[in-house]
Amino acid sequence: MKWIMTFLVGALCGAGALAYFLDVTPSVLFRVPAAAPPLVMPPPPIAMPAPPAVAPTPAPVIVSPSVDILPAAVVAPAPPLLPEAAPPAQHAQQPERVVIKPTENLMIPVAGIKASQLMNTFDQARGSERRHEAIDILAPKGTKVFAVADGKVVKLFNSKAGGLTLYQFDVTEKFAYYYAHLDSYAASVTEGTHLYRGDLVGYVGSTGNANPAAPHLHFAIFELTSEKKWWKGTPINPYPLLRQ
């Protein structure tokens, strides 16, 4: 029974407390919060018009004080160069003439003479103003003299210096062979006679200005010019040609 009483007392106390609570705090417990004021968005910024473009200030023009422009100086043309004085004329040195030698082997023109017996007298002096320009082949008087090469007799002549002489042209008529101081000519030899190498043309002697005590053949070779005049030809030393 006791517990029933306790229950009832508790229930009554609870009901009273509840009634008090509901009477005092209903507005607090069930207060509806006021609505939040609407958010007001600030207006967008008003676009300001762009300031007018300012034209760049032109740079000040600096005017230099006036200067008188002088005319260009007139330069007189240089006087023409005078040609240098020509050096005094000098005697032009003539080039040494190239002498053509006979291509045919030449025969020693004196019978019985060997190449080793020949003497080179081509450059020996004859008087004070000339060279010998020939060779002398010593042999007894009357020794046979032969043609040194093929060719033609163009002149038989008895001169004061050379005595009995014979001039022969080779077959090309580029060279002349000269035989001098002959004692006599061969009987068959006349001007225009065609000679062959080794033909008899005459005999050794000492005619002309030769020493009678030393008979010999004076033999010379000349390279002919276009005029075919032997006295204008170029002397050629026979010595090396006869020793071949």
- Rounded to an integer, the average pLDDT of 40-54 is 56
Q: Give me the domains of the chain, ranges plus CATH numbers.
A: 115-241 (2.70.70.10)
Q: 213 is written with which tokens? A: 């005590």
Best-predicted range by mean pLDDT among 27-36, 38-47, 81-90, 151-160?
151-160
More confident residue, 168 or 125: 168
How many Cβ atoms from other residues are within 10 Å of residue 167's Cβ? 21
91: number of CA atoms within 13 Å, CB side?
Answer: 2
**Three-class SS of residue 119?**
coil
Q: 121 is written with which tokens? A: 């007298």
- Rounded to an integer, the average pLDDT of 76-91 is 53
Distance, CA of 95 to chain centre: 25
The answer to whether residues 190 and 164 touch, using CB atoms and an 8 Å cutoff, is no
**Three-class SS of residue 230?**
helix
Q: Is 20 exposed, middle or buried (0-12, 13-18, 19+ CB in 10 A)?
A: exposed
Report the pLDDT value the prediction gives residue 244, as an integer from 0 to 100.
Answer: 72
Q: Name the residue among 150, 185, 182 with its Cα closest to residue 163.
A: 182
* Alpha-carbon distance values, 9 to 2, 3, 79, 167, 179 (Å): 11, 10, 156, 199, 200
Q: Which region among 28-37, 149-158, 228-237 has the lowest average model confidence (pLDDT)?
A: 28-37
The answer to whether residues 180 and 165 touch, using CB atoms and an 8 Å cutoff, is yes
Q: What torsion, rounded to 10 degrees, do the Cα atoms 121, 139, 184, 171 define?
A: -50
Q: 119 is written with which tokens? A: 């003497």
Report the pLDDT value the prediction gives residue 36, as an integer from 0 to 100.
Answer: 53
2: number of CA atoms within 13 Å, CB side?
Answer: 0
Answer whether residue 58 shows pLDDT above 80.
Answer: no
- Looking at the chain, the whole-number percentage of residues with pLDDT higher than 70 is 55
Rounded to whole angstroms, how far apart are CA atoms 178 and 145?
Answer: 12
Rounded to whole angstroms, how far apart are CA atoms 191 and 174?
Answer: 18
